[in-house]
Amino acid sequence: MRISDNPLRGQQFPAALLLIAAGLGLLLANLPTHDGIAAVLDAHIAIPGTSLDLSVAHWVSDGLLAIFFLVVAIELRHELTHGELDSPRKAMQPAIAAAGGVLVPIAVYLLFAGADPATAGGWPIPTATDIAFALGVLAMFGKGLPSGVRVFLLALAILDDIIGIIFIAVLFAHDVDWLMFVLAVVGVVIFALLSRIVAKNGSSGIAVLMGVIGIATWGLMAASGIHATIAGVLLGLFMSPAPAEKLRHGLEPTVNGAILPVFAFVAAFVVIPSVPISDLSPSFWGILVALPVGKILGIGLFGWIAMRIRPRGSAPALVLPDLLAAGALGGIGFTVSLLLANLAFARDELLRDEAILGVLAGSLIALVLSGFIVSARARHYRRLEAAADTSAAE
């Protein structure tokens, strides 16, 4: 993350903002304010002359969140070409750990909820990592940690984002209209070509046309039956690097300060079920356990294996306690997990709400655990550094 005086470009403040927005959404959903806010979120807004007729809540999750995924895709492209994942050697260790951070939470979830077909479909939910939250916690509590821990976590979260995007694109497409999809792909190609023209001569008129093409591509993707956020992913991945970086820099404060908090508020606006704890669905318990426990076990174990087989010339191996710290941070699913919960249980409101509560509770547990573990590891390294300085002075 680049250094900036704007707190919305940092790591700590956006993470705190997300937590506050989610807490406020959950609170207001369970107060007398519920009906009024629910009426607003359920109100439909249609675009004349098109088939797009979405509720306010869906405009947030399908529309605003596409801008977030556009920014994510630009960052992914940079890391895959010039960053932490630009070679197989760099990618191998976090890729193995990321595989564990997906497979083990899925197994834990299915252990709780796999027996019932109604809940088994929620298995993708605990596979996500919220990179904004994870890096925010790392920035708050990780002063003194080796840079390798942050690099490893960043690469891990990036790979997690890729997996989450694939899940959204493949698992939650419905009644695909292939003509609309092909037209959306054509829109991506035109957008990419225009971005290369802008990179060469900086034409503001072409930039405006890119905006129009981008919005049209989003609309075509939404009409195709594939989740509309995938349009943001494709536009970001194929945009020319120079204008893409400029766009990312311009959008970052808006995404961190408005789009993600609004989505967190809307996604967390669920009524806590008036049932005994024992009557909560298996999906709630599966997510609650899979996020903190599954991620710690999966990333810790697979990461340890990756460190044992890393090729010569790789960065120094991380020790198991550092891998467990990365695993705890990986358990903060939040943004993408909330989206996956909405998609997995879109046709069952009660299951959806309980899954969202599971995401919030599981992510909170992971957040607290990661704070403790990261703080302990940071103190350990500070003591080692102080001891080394004392020995050098003598």
- Please classify residue 387 by burial: count the beta carbons closer than 10 Å to its beta carbon, then call 0-12 exposed, 13-18 middle and 19+ buried: exposed
Q: What is the pLDDT of residues 257-271, one digit of tens each?
A: 899 899 989 988 988
Least confidently predicted of 149-153, 219-223, 269-273, 296-300? 149-153
- 328 with 374: CB under 8 angstroms? yes
pLDDT in the model for residue 33: 94
Q: What is the pLDDT of residues 18-53, one digit of tens each?
A: 889 989 999 999 999 999 999 999 999 988 877 788
pLDDT in the model for residue 304: 92
Least confidently predicted of 64-78, 81-95, 193-207, 226-240? 81-95
Measure Cα distances from 143 to 10, 97, 133, 136, 322 in Å: 15, 23, 16, 12, 14
What whole-number percentage of the chain has pLDDT above 70?
A: 96
Tell me the C-alpha distance between 153 and 295, whole Å: 12
Half-sphere CA count of 35, side-chain side, radius 13 A: 1
DSSP string, 57-124: HHIIIIIIHHHHHHHHHHHHHHHHHHSTTSSHHHHHHHHHHHHHHHHHHHHHHHHHHTTSHHHHTTTT
Tell me the C-alpha distance between 276 and 39, whole Å: 28
When pLDDT is averaged across residues 244-256 and rounded to a whole number, the result is 92
Q: Please determine, for residue 170, whether its predicted confidence score (pLDDT) is greater than 80.
A: yes
Tell me the C-alpha distance between 154 and 328, whole Å: 14
pLDDT in the model for residue 299: 94
- 105 with 298: CB under 8 angstroms? yes
Cβ atoms within 10 Å, residue 196: 15
- Looking at residue 151, its amino acid is V
Q: pLDDT class for 1, splitting at 50, 70, 90? A: very low
Tell me the C-alpha distance between 187 and 173, whole Å: 19
Half-sphere CA count of 349, side-chain side, radius 13 A: 5
Half-sphere CA count of 19, side-chain side, radius 13 A: 18
Q: Please determine, for residue 178, whether its predicted confidence score (pLDDT) is greater than 90.
A: yes
Note the pTM of the prediction, 2 decimals: 0.85
- 119 with 281: CB under 8 angstroms? yes
Does an H or E element contain 376, and which?
Answer: helix 349-393
Reduced to 3 states (helix: H, G, I; strand: E, B; else coil), residue 54 is strand
Phi-psi sector, 225: left (phi>0), alpha (psi -120 to 50), beta: left
- 17 with 253: CB under 8 angstroms? no
Q: Please determine, for residue 298, whether its predicted confidence score (pLDDT) is greater than 60.
A: yes
When pLDDT is averaged across residues 324-333 and rounded to a whole number, the result is 91
Interacting residues of 279 by C-beta distance below 8 A, sequence separation 6+? 273
Q: What are 211's two structure tokens? A: 């905006």
Q: What are 156's two structure tokens? A: 């891990």
Cβ atoms within 10 Å, residue 269: 22
Reduced to 3 states (helix: H, G, I; strand: E, B; else coil), residue 53 is strand
Tell me the C-alpha distance between 99 and 95, whole Å: 6
Q: 44: which strand partners?
A: 55
- 291 with 124: CB under 8 angstroms? no
pLDDT in the model for residue 52: 80
DSSP string, 210-226: HHHHHHHHHHHHHHHTS
Q: pLDDT class for 236, splitting at 50, 70, 90? A: very high
Q: What are 128's two structure tokens? A: 């996500």
